[in-house]
């Protein structure tokens, strides 16, 4: 008889170490809120969507100066309208993908498929974050470049720069952008790493079995 068979003998009779709940005890449990990782992931994705929508929208609606600058940059209003449509179109696409992905998560699926659908959802959020980081990076570099060339105050200051100093200014600008993006990226890595560490470990364990 191996170890598990010894355990099996005890397994079905060992019911005394926990409290047997009555119907009355169970009813209140149904009203409690879930604290599952899917729910946390859902809140994070809503927060992500809201955060980036606000980051993109607030300066435009609350700062006349910012709006004027944008309108000068995109002197052709069709370009600005096109970009706005594209931006919100992409956000809507992500909302649609996330909705579908959440709907596919089912606790009655087998363990591997359940993990797979959660990882897929997390990847959609990851893509959304990467998309926003790329846009933020490009906007920052473009903004810096535009300021260097068109802002009268900055232009008068860099007028006397040698080509070497100008190259340093550009390098600093790029390094600042990369550092900003890296910090935000690491922040996400830590959040998701912490939340999905156990899930990833278990998924890899199941994957390993099939190799």
Of the two residues 85 and 99, which places its CB atom closer to another protein in the complex?
Answer: 99
Three-class SS string for the chain? CCHHHHHHHHHCCCCCCCCCCCHHHHHHHHHCCCCCHHHHHHHHHHHHHHHHHHHHHHHHHHCHHHHHHHHHHCCCHHHHHHHHHHHHHHHHHHHHHHHHHHHHCCCCCCHHHHHHHHHHHHHHHHHHHHHHHHHHHHHHHHHHHHHHHHCHHHHHHHCCCCHHHHHHHHHHHHHHHHHHHHHHHHHHHHHHHHHHHHHHHHHHHHHHHHC
Of the two residues 119 and 173, which places its CB atom closer to another protein in the complex?
Answer: 119
Tell the smallest beta-carbon distance from residue 128 to another protein (Å).
Answer: 22
- 200 binds another protein, rule: CB under 8 A: no
Which of residues 65, 83, 98, 202 is near another protein by CB under 8 A? 202
Of the two residues 98 and 115, which places its CB atom closer to another protein in the complex?
Answer: 115
- 190 binds another protein, rule: CB under 8 A: no
Enumerate residues 11-70 that contact another protein by CB under 8 A: 11, 15, 17-18, 20-23, 26-27, 29-30, 32-38, 40
- 106 binds another protein, rule: CB under 8 A: yes
How many residues bind another protein (CB under 8 A)? The answer is: 47
Which of residues 1, 2, 163, 183 is near another protein by CB under 8 A? 2
Which residues, other chains included, contact 124 with Cβ-Cβ below 8 Å and sequence gap of 6+? Answer: 45, 94, 97, 98, 101
Tell the smallest beta-carbon distance from residue 110 to another protein (Å).
Answer: 4
- 151 binds another protein, rule: CB under 8 A: no
Residues that bind another protein (CB under 8 A): 2-4, 6-8, 10-11, 15, 17-18, 20-23, 26-27, 29-30, 32-38, 40, 106-115, 118, 195, 198-199, 201-202, 205-206, 209-210
């Amino acid at each position: 008889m191996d170890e598990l068979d010894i355990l099996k003998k005890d397994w079905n009779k060992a019911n005394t170490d926990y409290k047997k709940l009555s119907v009355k005890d169970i009813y209140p449990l149904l009203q409690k809120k879930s604290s599952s990782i899917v729910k946390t992931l859902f809140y994070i994705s809503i927060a992500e969507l809201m955060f980036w929508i606000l980051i993109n929208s607030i300066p435009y609606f609350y700062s006349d100066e910012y709006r004027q600058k944008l309108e000068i940059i995109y002197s052709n209003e069709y370009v600005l309208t096109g970009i706005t449509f594209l931006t919100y179109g992409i956000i809507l696409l992500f909302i649609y993908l996330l909705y579908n992905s959440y709907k596919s998560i089912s606790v009655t699926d087998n363990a591997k498929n359940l993990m797979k659908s959660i990882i897929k959802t997390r990847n959609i959020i990851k893509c959304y974050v990467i998309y926003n980081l790329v846009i933020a990076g490009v906007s920052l570099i473009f903004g810096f470049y535009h300021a260097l060339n068109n802002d009268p105050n900055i232009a008068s200051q860099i007028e006397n720069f040698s080509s070497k100093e100008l190259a340093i200014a550009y390098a600093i600008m790029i390094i600042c952008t990369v550092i900003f993006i890296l910090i935000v990226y690491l922040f996400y890595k830590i959040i998701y790493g912490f939340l999905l560490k156990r899930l990833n470990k278990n998924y890899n364990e199941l994957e390993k079995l099939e190799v």
